[in-house]
Amino acid sequence: MEPSTCSLSLETLHNDTWARTDKQKATALAEHLATVFRPFPSQSTALDEETLLHELNVPHQMALPLKKIRIHEVIQHKTHPTKAPGYDLITGQILKELSRKGFRVATQFSDSNTILTTGR
């Protein structure tokens, strides 16, 4: 199957001369596309469009609310004590045996480490 070729004439509209430079060709193509591809007229009312624009300008419109989690419960139920430790050498067994105060310190340490490494 051979590729199709464009049947667009690169004749400029202003003075019936051929577009020779790349800029003239690009301008002629842009003018052609602007005349061929036109959007349908809007069927929305002004109030609908205003409401839509307001909704689109709301910050974090697609962000779902964060669920509250208790880190102690997550670690107690989701941590595998027999898995190998990470780069910090903290095993799952150590995390399971931490007190609530220990969780706070570990969380602060983890958060500050994340901030230092990612800059956020």
Tens of pLDDT, residues 12-60: 555 677 888 889 888 888 888 888 888 888 888 889 889 888 888 887 7
What residue type is 54 in one-letter code? H
What residue type is 51 in one-letter code? T
61 touches 55 (CB < 8 A): yes
Close Cβ partners of 114 (under 8 Å, ≥ 6 residues apart)? 120
The whole-number pLDDT of residue 80 equals 78
- Rounded to two decimals, the pTM is 0.34
Please give the full DSSP string across the chain, using - where no structure is assigned: -PPP------B-TTTS-B--SHHHHHHHHHHHHHHH--PPPP-S-HHHHHHHHHHHTSTTTTPPPPPP--HHHHHHHH--TTSPP-TT---HHHHHH--HHHHHHHHHHHHHHHHHHH--
Q: Which residue has the higher pLDDT, 106 or 114?
A: 106
